[in-house]
Structure 1
Amino acid sequence: MDFIATPLAVSGSAVGGIVPFLVGVVLVGGLIWAVWWGRRLRSRESAPPRPEEQPRLPDSGPVGEVRERREPSEVPRSGNRLNPNQVRAEGNSSSHRAADQEAPTWDENSSGGFGSGGPGRT
């Protein structure tokens, strides 16, 4: 079998190989610049805390969970709409401990939550 050699189109293959190469060079250059910029920004940040600067457990040991019932905050009743600065948020309103600290018990005559499948009160 004889193979027939066909001449390659030099101009088409040269452009077809140079463009992806140049795109690759630009991408690699962009990645190198991004790593350089990131290291430069990281060097400006403060160092992580040393072991002696880390928070420590109290001498009494870890703090346990505290469960208590709190009284709900009253919503102010007014005829006008409230602005966000007029609404008391959880962090800045004083709530107080409820007098009754017992957990609510299940009512035997109740069907449970909405959509629980029970027949409801009959």
Structure 2
Amino acid sequence: MNTASMQLAAASGLMSLVLFIVAVGLLALLAGGFWMTSRVKSQESPRPRPEEQPKMPPGGPVREVQENRESAEVPRVAKGERPLTPYDLTNMDSKPSASKDRPRWSKGSSGSFGGGGLGAH
């Protein structure tokens, strides 16, 4: 080894100074982040007091309602007219079904394409 490579391999004071400045910069960024967070949190509205919390309805807790729904019929297009596009259809409402039986899949069917079952054979 010659002296030039020995000098390049030696620890440099400049490199230590750069690393120290980078470390101080990172600490300043972290401190600034904590300072900004505390400023934002101090500007938020206070937490609600116990008397401001939501109250239970007079009839007690609201229960889940299970019912079967039927979708509205898709409008028919007269022969020779322009077919309907999705933009022509609005949000189709549904109505309660008169039937109380839950819809079931046919026996031996998984109910979905590629569901892993044998399918209807």
Which TM-score bucket, shorter chain as reference?
Answer: 0.5 to 0.7
Cα RMSD of the aligned pairs, angstroms, is: 2.8
How is 1:41-120 mapped onto 2 (pairs within 5 angstroms)?
A: 41-76=40-75, 79-83=83-87, 87-89=89-91, 94-105=93-104, 107=106, 110-113=107-110, 114=113, 115-118=116-119, 120=120
- Cα distance in structure 1, aligned partners of 2:67 and 2:108: 26
Q: What TM-score results when the alignment is normalised by the length of structure 2?
A: 0.67
47 and 88 in structure 1: CA distance in 2 versus 1, 3 angstrom threshold: farther
SS at 1:96 equivalent = strand
Hey, what does 2:12 align to over in structure 1? 13
Aligned equivalents of 2:90, 2:47: Cα separation in 1: 37
- Structure 1 residue 13 displacement after superposition: 2.9
Residue 96 of structure 1 and its aligned partner are, at CA, apart by 1.7
CA distance in 2, matches of 1:17, 1:75: 75
Letter in 2 for 1:18: L
> Following TM superposition, by how much is the alpha carbon of 1:80 offset from its aligned partner in structure 2, in angstroms?
4.3
Distance 1:23 1:39, change over 3 A: same
For residues 42 and 89 of structure 2, the distance between their equivalents in structure 1, rounded to whole angstroms, comes to 43
- Per-residue CA deviation, residues 7-46 of structure 1 (Å, 9 max, x unaligned), is x99x943112111111010011011111111211222221
Aligned length: 105
Shift of 1:106: 5.8
Secondary structure of 1:116's aligned partner: coil
Structure 2 alignment gaps of length 5 or more: 1-6, 77-81
Please say which of residues 97-106 and 44-53 is displaced more in the overlay. 97-106
TM-score scaled by length of structure 1:
0.66
